[in-house]
Amino acid sequence: MTSSGDIASELRHLIDAGDYPPGSQLPTNAALMGTHGVSKATITKAISELVDQGLVWTAKKGGTRVRHRTPVTLPLSRYRSALACSGSGGPWETATAEAGLDGHMQLIDVDTVEATPDLATLLELSPGHVLTYRLRHAIIRPDDLVQIQEAWYPKRVAEAAGIDTEVKVVGGIYRRLADAGHRRATASESVSVRMPTADEALQLRVGGRVSVLAVERVTRDTHGSPLEVLRAVAAADRIKLTYDDLPLLEAQQ
In whole angstroms, how far apart are CA 34 and each of 9, 28, 86, 181? 17, 10, 57, 66
- What's the pLDDT tens digit per position in 196-219? 999 999 999 998 889 999 999 999
Q: Taking the CA atoms of 158, 162, 163 and 166 in sequence, report the sign of the dihedral they define.
A: positive
**What's the pTM?**
0.88
Please check whether residue 94 is in contact with residue 171, taking contact to mean a CB–CB distance below 8 angstroms.
Answer: no
Mean pLDDT over 146-159 rounds to 97
Q: What is the band of 168 on the pLDDT scale with cuts at 50, 70, 90?
A: confident
Task: Provide the 8-state DSSP code for 199.
Answer: H
Q: What is the band of 87 on the pLDDT scale with cuts at 50, 70, 90?
A: low
**What structural domains does the chain harbor?**
4-66 (1.10.10.10), 72-242 (3.40.1410.10)
Please check whether residue 208 is in contact with residue 201, taking contact to mean a CB–CB distance below 8 angstroms.
Answer: yes
Mean pLDDT over 13-26 rounds to 95
Please check whether residue 36 is in contact with residue 46, taking contact to mean a CB–CB distance below 8 angstroms.
Answer: no
In whole angstroms, how far apart are CA 68 and each of 10, 48, 232, 238, 240? 19, 17, 19, 9, 15
- What's the pLDDT tens digit per position in 31-82? 999 999 999 999 999 999 999 999 999 987 778 999 999 889 888 766 655 5
